[in-house]
Amino acid sequence: MQEGPDLESAGFEHLKRQFARLNDLQKRHNLEHVEIEMLSKMADDDRNTSYAPLSFNALSLDATATDHLGTLQKFIVTTRGGIPPLAGYTLIRTAIEASSIALWLMGGGTKDKRILNTLRLVLDNRIDNENFAARMGTTDPAKNKHVRTRLEEIRDARPSLRKSAIKPMPSATSIIESSQGYVKKRSQYTGIQTWIACSGVAHANYGTNLILLERKQVGHGSPTGGTFHMTSSVSVLSSMFEVAVDFLEAARLMYEANSKAHGQSPK
């Protein structure tokens, strides 16, 4: 763990503002308290994705993003400015990815697209579950077949989707890039820039670590290398934390908007 300056120092002011934004989202935009109105777009989407409703998936993704950002915030506050050199970036990475998928699900331009994207996500998750079960020796072929059949039934209930394949999910980079447009706030980094940088840390990419982390040589070096003390940059981590909060905020606002009836038939 990096022993940083006290949270009250000027270097932490930006990070503290992002913590306040995250806390505010929890208080003023807590999705647990959002009622999905009967004539809303979200209610209509849920009726057309009955096996695993779109809103359920959005809430699960929100919980993932919130928990990861909250964990990083709690660590820094509890340690009074201690910053994990590497782990913080992987927490930010997961939060951005989860919020982006939620935006991708809810932001589909048509009802057909939102339904099909939900089926794609559910099938992709089921395949992951099957792989896990197979490794654990608890695979259930009957259950796997039932899930696929049920998803196809939901698809075929929409005449306009009967010829549509439930394709694999797009890449994470594609989803994050497409979701950027829903984030109205301009930050120092884009979502995809942040996610790629944090992915480098998650994959132990030494070159990425050299770019993101601050370092100070310890002892005497040699012509071919040396020993360095690596610490996380408060400003870089704070800027990337801000991006993750931006995406979470956009996803929560979209969930709220889609859950309200606007006096017209959902599209």
How do the residues of the chain divide into helix, strand and coil, expressed in percent and rounded to 5?
65, 5, 25
Confidence of residue 233 (pLDDT cuts 50, 70, 90): confident
Q: Which of the two residues, 185 and 112, has the higher pLDDT score?
A: 112
Task: Look at residues 91, 69, 83 and name the one whose alpha carbon lies nearest to residue 5.
Answer: 83
Task: With H, G, I as helix, E, B as strand and everything else as coil, classify residue 161.
Answer: helix
- Judge if pTM exceeds 0.85: yes
Residue 41 lies in a domain: yes
If you average pLDDT over residues 175-193, what whole number do you get? 94
Inform me whether the pLDDT recorded for 10 exceeds 70. Answer: no
Confidence of residue 187 (pLDDT cuts 50, 70, 90): confident
Q: Which of the two residues, 235 and 1, has the higher pLDDT score?
A: 235
Q: Which residues contact 241 (CB under 8 A, 6 or more apart)?
A: 15, 18, 69, 72, 88, 92
Task: Report how far residue 255's alpha carbon sits from residue 21's, in angstroms, rounded to the nearest whole number.
Answer: 18
pLDDT-wise least confident of 2-6, 27-31, 111-115, 154-158:
2-6
What are the residues facing 232 on neighbouring strands? 213
Q: Which of the two residues, 84 and 248, has the higher pLDDT score?
A: 248
DSSP letters spanning 236-258: HHHHHHHHHHHHHHHHHHHHHHH
Q: Which residues contact 116 (CB under 8 A, 6 or more apart)?
A: 108, 155, 161, 164, 166
Task: Report how far residue 93's alpha carbon sits from residue 84's, in angstroms, rounded to the nearest whole number.
Answer: 14
Residue 226 lies in a domain: no
Cβ-based burial of 135 (10 A; exposed 0-12, middle 13-18, buried ≥19): exposed
Residue 213 lies in a domain: no
Positive/negative CA dihedral, 32, 189, 214, 4: negative
Confidence of residue 211 (pLDDT cuts 50, 70, 90): confident
Inform me whether the pLDDT recorded for 3 exceeds 90. Answer: no
Positive/negative CA dihedral, 256, 259, 265, 267: positive
Inform me whether the pLDDT recorded for 25 exceeds 70. Answer: yes
Q: Which of the two residues, 106 and 216, has the higher pLDDT score?
A: 106
**Count of domains for the chain:** 1
Residue 218 lies in a domain: no
Instruction: Judge whether 166 and 119 are in contact, CB under 8 Å.
Output: yes
Percent of the chain predicted with pLDDT > 70: 88
Which pLDDT value is given to residue 186?
83
Residue 263 lies in a domain: no
Which pLDDT value is given to residue 102?
98
Percent of the chain predicted with pLDDT > 90: 76
Q: 76-112: per-residue pLDDT in tens?
A: 999 988 888 899 999 999 999 999 999 999 999 999 9
Q: How many CB atoms lie within 10 A of CB 39?
A: 13
Inform me whether the pLDDT recorded for 229 exceeds 80. Answer: no
Please report which residue ranges of the chain form alpha helices under DSSP H: 13-28, 41-47, 54-78, 87-106, 111-136, 141-156, 172-179, 191-202, 206-212, 234-258
Task: Report how far residue 131's alpha carbon sits from residue 134's, in angstroms, rounded to the nearest whole number.
Answer: 5
Inform me whether the pLDDT recorded for 263 exceeds 70. Answer: no
Specify the DSSP element, H or E, that contains 218: strand 213-222
Positive/negative CA dihedral, 257, 261, 262, 264: positive
Domain that holds residue 89: 10-204+234-258
Q: 38-69: per-residue pLDDT in tens?
A: 999 999 999 999 999 999 999 999 999 999 99
Which pLDDT value is given to residue 5?
52
